[in-house]
C-alpha cells in the first residue's frame, strides 16, 4: 500500500498561511508528522497561489526535503509549474496529475520519463469526468495506452477513478469501487489511488464515511491512497483492511502500527 500524505496542501487555510508567511517550522512539522505516521510520499501543493505557485512550490520542496528523505508527490494542475520545480527533487517523485487532456499529457509524460517518476492519472478527459464505472474504466484504458506508448512502464501509473459525494448520488461511490476492481483486473501492473474526503461531502460524521469507504476500496484492490496518515482511526481502518485482505504477511504491519501507537 502506497500512502500519499495529503496535508501540505494550499487549499487548507493553515497551510496557505504558513506558506505565505514563510513559516518553515509549520511546514516541516506537517512533513514529519506524516512521515512518522507511515507516509510513502509527501504531497506538496501551492496551487491556491496561482501566479506565485511555482515560486512557493519551490520553497515548499526545499523546506520539506530538509527534514525528510521521503519522495514527494508534486501536486499541480499546471504542467509548466511542474516543469519549473521538478529539478529540485532529490528522489524520483510522483506527479499529481495527468488527465487525457493533450496539454497535460504532452507536458508531463516526458518529465515522468526523465525523472523516473510515477504519475497519477485521473479518469477525466479534457471536458468530462468519468461518472459511471464503465466510463471510468474506459478512460483508464486510454490512460494506460497513452502512458505505456510513451515508453513508461505501466506500474508507474496510478489511476484515480475519481470519487464523488455519495450524498448527491447514491450510486457514485459504488461506481468508483466497481471501477477500482475492474481496472485492477484488466490492466495488470497498474495501481489505483484515490482521495477520500469527497465521498462524504454533505453528510454528518464524515470521517466514519471516509474510512469505511477506504476499507471497501482496499477490499476491491485499491493499492494507494491520498490521505492524512496522522488520522489514527483512518490508519486503523486501513491497516486492518489490508490485513483482512491477505496483504499483510503474518499481520506484522498491523501489529507494528499498533505498537507505534498509530492505530485507533
Q: Is 78 in the site for another protein (CB under 8 A)?
A: yes
Q: Is 9 in the site for another protein (CB under 8 A)?
A: no
For residues 131 and 173, what is the distance between their CA atoms, to the nearest angstrom?
A: 10
Q: Is 11 in the site for another protein (CB under 8 A)?
A: yes
> Nearest approach, Cβ of 169 to another protein (angstroms)?
8
Q: Which is nearer to another protein, 14 or 128 (CB)?
A: 128
Q: Is 201 in the site for another protein (CB under 8 A)?
A: yes
Cell numbers 526535503: residue: 65
Q: Candidates 150-158, 159-167, 229-237, 244-252 — which segment interacts with another protein by CB under 8 A?
A: 159-167
**Contact present, 111 and 88 (Cβ < 8 Å):** no
Question: Binder to another protein among 97, 124, 192, 210 (CB under 8 A)?
Answer: 124
> Nearest approach, Cβ of 153 to another protein (angstroms)?
29
Question: Binder to another protein among 33, 67, 89, 129 (CB under 8 A)?
Answer: 129
Question: Binder to another protein among 188, 202, 246, 249 (CB under 8 A)?
Answer: 202
Q: Which is nearer to another protein, 11 or 14 (CB)?
A: 11
For residues 170 and 152, what is the distance between their CA atoms, to the nearest angstrom?
A: 37
Cell of 47: 496551487
Cell numbers 486503523: residue: 236
> Nearest approach, Cβ of 168 to another protein (angstroms)?
5
Q: Is 261 in the site for another protein (CB under 8 A)?
A: no
For residues 129 and 83, what is the distance between their CA atoms, to the nearest angstrom?
A: 25
Q: Which is nearer to another protein, 68 or 76 (CB)?
A: 76
**Contact present, 100 and 108 (Cβ < 8 Å):** no
Cell numbers 499529481: residue: 96
Cell of 168: 448527491
Long-range contacts from 17-22, C-beta under 8 angstroms, 24+ separation? 19/46, 19/49, 19/56, 19/59, 19/60, 20/49, 22/59
Report phi then psi at 175, rounded to 5: -60, -40
Q: Is 168 in the site for another protein (CB under 8 A)?
A: yes
Q: Which positions touch another protein (CB under 8 A)?
A: 10-11, 47-48, 50, 77-78, 124, 127-129, 164-165, 167-170, 201-204
Amino acid at each position: 500500500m502506497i500512502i500519499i500524505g495529503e496535508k501540505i496542501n494550499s487549499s487548507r487555510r493553515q497551510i496557505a498561511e504558513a506558506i505565505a508567511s514563510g513559516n518553515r517550522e509549520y511546514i516541516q512539522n506537517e512533513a514529519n508528522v506524516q512521515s512518522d505516521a507511515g507516509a510513502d510520499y509527501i504531497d506538496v501543493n501551492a496551487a491556491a497561489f496561482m501566479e506565485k505557485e511555482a515560486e512557493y512550490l519551490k520553497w515548499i520542496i526545499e523546506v520539506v526535503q530538509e527534514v525528510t528523505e521521503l519522495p514527494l508527490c508534486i501536486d499541480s494542475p499546471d504542467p509548466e509549474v511542474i516543469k519549473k520545480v521538478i529539478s529540485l527533487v532529490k528522489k524520483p517523485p510522483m506527479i499529481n496529475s495527468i488527465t487525457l487532456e493533450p496539454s497535460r499529457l504532452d507536458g508531463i509524460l516526458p518529465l515522468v520519463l526523465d525523472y523516473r517518476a510515477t504519475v497519477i492519472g485521473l479518469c477525466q478527459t479534457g471536458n468530462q469526468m468519468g461518472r459511471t464505472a464503465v466510463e471510468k474504466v474506459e478512460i483508464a484504458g486510454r490512460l494506460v495506452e497513452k502512458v505505456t506508448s510513451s515508453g513508461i512502464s505501466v506500474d508507474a501509473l496510478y489511476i484515480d477513478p475519481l470519487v464523488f459525494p455519495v450524498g448527491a448520488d447514491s450510486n457514485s461511490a459504488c461506481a468508483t469501487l466497481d471501477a477500482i476492481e475492474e481496472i485492477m483486473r484488466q490492466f495488470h501492473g497498474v495501481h489505483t489511488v484515490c482521495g477520500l474526503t469527497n465521498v462524504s461531502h454533505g453528510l454528518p460524521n464524515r470521517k466514519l464515511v471516509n474510512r469505511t469507504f477506504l476499507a471497501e476500496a482496499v477490499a476491491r484492490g485499491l493499492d494507494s491512497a491520498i490521505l492524512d496518515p496522522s488520522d489514527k482511526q483512518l490508519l486503523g481502518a486501513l491497516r486492518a483492511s489490508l490485513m483482512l485482505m491477505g496483504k499483510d504477511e503474518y499481520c506484522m504491519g498491523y501489529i507494528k502500527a499498533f505498537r507505534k501507537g498509530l492505530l485507533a
